[in-house]
Amino acid sequence: MIVVASWLLYRYLAPKTWREWASAGVVQAFIIALYAEMYGFPLTIYLLAQFFGLDRYNLNANLWSSLLGVGETGMLISMILGYGLLFVGIGIFIQGWRELYRAHRQNRLATTGLYGLVRHPQYTGLFIGLFGEGIVHWPTLFSVGLFPVIVLAYGLLARNEEKRMIERFGEEYHAYQWRVPMFFPRLGQWRQLVQRSNVKDADEDDPAHR
Q: pLDDT per residue over 16-74, tens digit each? A: 787 788 888 888 888 888 888 776 667 777 677 767 666 655 555 677 777 777 777 88
Domain count, the chain: 1
pTM of this prediction exceeds 0.85? no
**Is residue 65 assigned to a domain?**
no
Which structural domain, as residue segments, surrounds residue 78? 2-41+72-201
**Is residue 56 assigned to a domain?**
no
Residue type (1 letter), 52:
F
**Is residue 50 assigned to a domain?**
no
